[in-house]
Chains A and B, each alone.
Chain A
Amino acid sequence: MSNRTTTAASERVAPLGAIGGSSLRVPLTLVAVAIVFVVGAVAPTRFAGDFALRLGNEGLLLGMLALSVAFLMNQAGLVALGAASIYGGSGLLFAIAMNDWNLTPMVALCVAFLIIVVYATVLGALIVRTNPLAFMMLTLAAGEMISHAVMLEALRDYTGGADGLVVSFKGTVFGMEAADFASPARFWVVMWVAAWLSGLALWAVGRSRLGAILRAVRENEERMRFSGFDTYLPRLIAYVLVNIVAAVAGLLHVLNAGFVSPESLGISVSTNSLVAALMGGIAGSVGPLLGGVIFSFAQDEFGARGLTQLLTGIAIVVFIVVFPRGVVGGLSSMAWLRKLGGRREAS
């Protein structure tokens, strides 16, 4: 055996999570990403109508929720069916904090956010230890409990019951007034930035050591424990992180709509986010966000024909059969195959 104690192996191959590619390619990619970011933020507000922007905003909100669901599926192998309880719950808490606790918009926002994160942490602490199937059922059960609790007659004064709650605030939130959040064009910019930040944050986590640990735990939890890893805490952190994204989406939704309905906590929102994630592709951040937008526009188109459920079902089947890895996964596979074909022809 060698007496060397250097880390030549680490020199031979890049450390886990390192960005690969040539030094030229990385800046070019960054420039391209920056252009897409700026054009995507500005162009729709100039060229798209209010209706399309509203659909786009709804799509990005659903996309953020899909992003949270997809991250947990892809990194930790856990399917959460209770995302709506966090999404709608944060909005509802914000409304309650504004209407009943008479807090200022910023304070109400912070309080609602903190309460929902604490709830997610406690729930996560109880359920992330279970196997993936039990986890899925527990998130469904917890979500349904919250959804039904909102409808309880005893809590109607707080939650508004089936009528939901109207939120009207005076003053500003992050320098924006209520009218700014209600404006489709202005809210588009907010949503665009929020979606990018969420996507980048979860992408960075996925590329980090935590992401590597999560994927390794997903793949072989026993081996991870036998390698000295605590497999509980990383999953709890991931669960809390994705719920932070879902809570932010819920707060943005209520700021935009000025209203929170009990439907926003229901199972249909959770399943829509799951479908959006599968349509877009769960492997990265772009897929779920794109899936949310596709889903939003498709729902509108199907609704106009009066066949929402039927056409949605057909679309889901077609999408999953044609793009089993989602739209983004499918497109990247096609691009990769074309590249490979080009190389073969060249050689």
Chain B
Amino acid sequence: MLKIENLSVSYGSVRALSDVDLEVLGDGILHGVIGPNGAGKSTLLDAVCGRRRPVAGTVHYRNEDITRRSVAWRRRQGMARSFQRTSVFQDLTVHEQLYLVAQHLGDNRLDDVIEVMDLAGYLHQKAGRIAYGVQRRVDVALALIGRPHLLLLDEPGAGLSAAETLHLFEHLRDLVRERKIAAVVVEHDVDAVFACCGKVTVLDLGRHLATGTPQEIRADHRVVAAYLGTAA
């Protein structure tokens, strides 16, 4: 589904990602990306979705090199993303924004998204006036419209309690499994990642450190030394 080869991204003279390789299969498994602050997790998603141009390397999506494609093109091809800071339309009602995007992407199964993200009770409210946790669900719902093949979720649990994050991750795990799509989730809540992700990649200082099952990652001494410490 997604194949990243030798991907490097720079912010001026600072190299945020260096020669990162990653493969994500469309097998209905959540793929978590973890690492300390500044590891390049969000930059990785930015480069994959077209928000930031890589200085080197390629991004292949469904066997096509999309490194130079626009954000809107990628979205129309089924690559959707949510943001670390909630990115919803504050002045539109929940329904207005979901309907607008669904209409544009030709998705007539809006009900599914509303049900999966448990938004039925908020449809008439402006997004700016609902609780932050619900706004995050709207953000993810916007990404789910159009039945994407690849979901890129940037810290969907940011601002939520540990219990809410776990609940959201369980939702996402079930959804990804049911639809047999690919999903990459960047998250700081290691417990939620290990509980719900089938595969985990660890980044450190812009470099790929390890990829494996949660059990393999927990046991990897390099990951423990660089990130997990004794917390895991």
Q: Point out residues on A near B: beta carbons under 8 Å.
A: 1-2, 4-10, 12-13, 15-16, 209, 212-213, 215-216, 219-220, 222-223, 225-231
Contact = CB atoms under 8 A, between A and B. Distances in A.
Contact of A226 (B75, B95, B112): B75
A105 to B, nearest CB: 44
A9 B178 contact: no
The B interface, classified by DSSP as helix, strand, loop or mixed, is helix
B105 A228 contact: yes
A1 B112 contact: yes
Contacts of B51: 222
B96 A16 contact: yes
A228 B104 contact: yes
A9 B99 CA distance: 9
B91 A227 contact: no
Contact of A9 (B116, B123, B143): B123
A219 B96 CA distance: 13
Contacts of A226: 49, 71-72, 75, 80-81, 87, 143
Given A10-B99, A212-B100, A227 B75 contact: yes
B164 to A, nearest CB: 20
Given A225-B72, A226-B75, A4 B112 contact: yes
A222 B101 CA distance: 13
B100 A213 contact: yes
A13 B124 contact: yes
B146 interface: yes
A2 to B, nearest CB: 5
B174 to A, nearest CB: 7
Given A8-B111, A9-B114, A223 B89 contact: yes
A10 B175 CA distance: 22
A1 B178 contact: yes
B8 interface: no
Given A9-B114, A220-B89, A228-B75, 16 more contacts: A7-B110, A7-B111, A9-B120, A13-B93, A13-B99, A16-B99, A212-B100, A216-B97, A219-B91, A223-B83, A223-B87, A225-B71, A226-B49, A227-B100, A228-B76, A228-B104
Q: Ordered nearest first, which 9 A-B pairs have the shortest CB separation?
A: A228-B75, A227-B101, A228-B76, A223-B87, A225-B71, A13-B95, A9-B111, A9-B110, A219-B89
A289 to B, nearest CB: 24
Contacts of A16: 96, 99-100, 103
A4 B72 contact: no
Contact of A2 (B76, B89, B90, B115): B115
A157 to B, nearest CB: 48
Nearest to B90: A219
Nearest to B96: A16
Contacts of A216: 89, 92, 97, 100
A2 B178 CA distance: 11
12 contacts: A5-B111, A7-B111, A12-B123, A215-B91, A222-B51, A222-B87, A223-B89, A226-B49, A226-B72, A226-B81, A228-B76, A229-B72
A88 B49 CA distance: 45
Contacts of B75: 225-228
Interface in B140-165: 142-143, 145-146
A209 B49 contact: no
